[in-house]
Structure 1
Amino acid sequence: MVSPVETFRSLHHGRPPGAPLVLPGPWDAASAHAFEEAGFPALATPSAGVAASLGYEDGATPADEMFAAVARIVRAVDVPVSADIEGGYGLPPKELVERLLETGAVGCNLEDSHRGVLKDPREHADWLAEVRQAAGDRIFLNARVDTFIRGLPDPDRAIERAALYVAAGADCVYPIGAPVDVLPLLRAGIEGPINMVAKPDGESVRELGGLGATRVTFGPGLQRQAAAALSRVAGELRGAWLDQTR
């Protein structure tokens, strides 16, 4: 029998250009269920979206609450779920892996910056290797490369970091904030799957796939769209209620 992590890993390989893996980002059990009902084969939680649902600023969610939220999302669906666990919350690799596996998640995002500052890439690669050793094949590692959002726009620097992380055991590389026009360069220089973010006013999923993205996620974008829609409904409801009381 194929395990959920094997299913999730297989979704990243053998994909034709223009048909990347699309992973919506649930922020709670209800949104996860909605995405599963829509037919998506897997999901990937956004830390910022989960933080907003719990009443925290992005990056301020306590580890216990993040893991608990991920566990609720995993329990709500039958498809594989990967979790954005930010920089790992300072946990030793073995404990980090154990806590992630306890949630039922099959994968995770791990950032290579802390409090806005890029980590030393070799030290981070060594840490990723420890995570991989502790996880074995039980977790799909998506290594985030933060150069583009930390003031280092040269794609060669992102490619250098990506090579270190892939050598350390990362299954996928996530050059967050990379301009779309450098995606072909990244595709040519990075071995293995590449994760890109789709933006409401940006290129389509198909276009991102054609340029080299293996998988497409949405960050907190879907949660923010849902919150904006709810605000509009709340405003309309408030207006209707006021009309009735006049």
Structure 2
Amino acid sequence: MTAVPGRTGFADLHRPGAPLLLPNAWDHASAAALAAQGYAAIGTTSLAVAAAVGLPDGAAATREHTLRLARTLGTGPFLLSVDAEGGFSDDPDQVGELARELWAVGAVGINLEDGNGPVDRHAAKIAAARSAAPGLFVNARTDTYWLADGEGTLPRLDAYRQAGADGVFVPGLTDPERITALVRHLDVPLNILYSPSGPTVARLAELGVSRISLGSLLYRRALGAALDAMADIAGGRTPPGTTPSYDAVQALGRRPD
């Protein structure tokens, strides 16, 4: 098992050429299972938090659900980074309060997305989070590639860095030349979202990426595996793949104090 550094050591896991591979969990069992595989840091995924309670992702509807999950995972044997959409508010003070609450329950990082909205507004959120929770690693996400064609990426990242972001996240970017250009331009860690159709983890490391997130991929794969298993069972076939035993899953639960 990989040794888990202290809370302030989370930033040190972001190394160009030896990136942090960050799996994203959606509940206690998924986080505990990933930690048991040796992952020292684990993120959450806003899609799973929203889908689990029947709410839309990216609609600022899951603040309390996100905090509840953070309270559950914040004392686990791993470093926790929380996907907080756009901070669940356009009020920087409210985003700062969220950052403070996340730090208080044990999180070491927060991911804040701009939704390709106003740069100044997102920069103000980042500054508020930095001020309210100085120890929290603020990962500033821009959706210029996720929602558009990438135009305006550099000015946004520069503004977010100036506002106090510890790292920047550009999901949807898979072109090696553009990734390399960003790495050369930035003075903070670059986070890229892994895509099965994009560069491999080894290739992203070669390009100088410092953090590779899986986002909602594991959650969506788990749902897909459940549907595939049902189709196999209904068709008289034995489902392939890994099936943890009842006792193995039971062992992931917390022991009573």
TM-score by length of 1: 0.85
SS in 2 for 1:148: coil
CA deviation vs aligned residue, 1:9-54 (integer Å, no higher than 9, x gap): 1111xx352x211010001111101110110110111111222233
CA deviation vs aligned residue, 1:41-72 (integer Å, no higher than 9, x gap): 10111111222233333224421112112222
Does the Cα contact within 8 Å between 2:13 and 2:19 map onto a contact in 1? no
Note if 1:199 corresponds to 2:195.
Answer: yes
Partner of residue 130, structure 2? 132
Displacement after TM superposition at 1:86 (Å): 0.4
Q: Which runs of 5+ in 1 are unaligned?
A: 242-246
Matched residues in 1 for 2:181 and 2:164: separation? 22
- 5 Å matches for 1:20-31? 20-31=19-30
CA deviation vs aligned residue, 1:162-218 (integer Å, no higher than 9, x gap): 111111111100012123231011111122100001112322111111112101001
Note if 1:216 corresponds to 2:205.
Answer: no
> RCO (CA 8 Å, sep 6+): is it higher in 1 or 2?
1
Displacement after TM superposition at 1:101 (Å): 2.2
Higher helix share: 1
Displacement after TM superposition at 1:119 (Å): 2.4
Q: What percent of counterpart residues are identical?
A: 35
Matched residues in 2 for 1:231 and 1:55: separation? 18
Paired residues in the alignment total 229
CA deviation vs aligned residue, 1:208-235 (integer Å, no higher than 9, x gap): 1111210100110111111111212223
TM-score by length of 2: 0.82
Displacement after TM superposition at 1:239 (Å): 4.0
Matched residues in 2 for 1:194 and 1:238: separation? 45
CA deviation vs aligned residue, 1:138-174 (integer Å, no higher than 9, x gap): 20000001111232423xx211111111111111000
Q: Which of 226, 233, 237 pairs up with 2:233?
A: 237
CA 1:210–1:233: 2 relative to 1, 3 Å: same
Partner of residue 251, structure 2? none
Q: Which runs of 5+ in 2 are unaligned?
A: 238-257
Does the Cα contact within 8 Å between 1:49 and 1:219 map onto a contact in 2? no
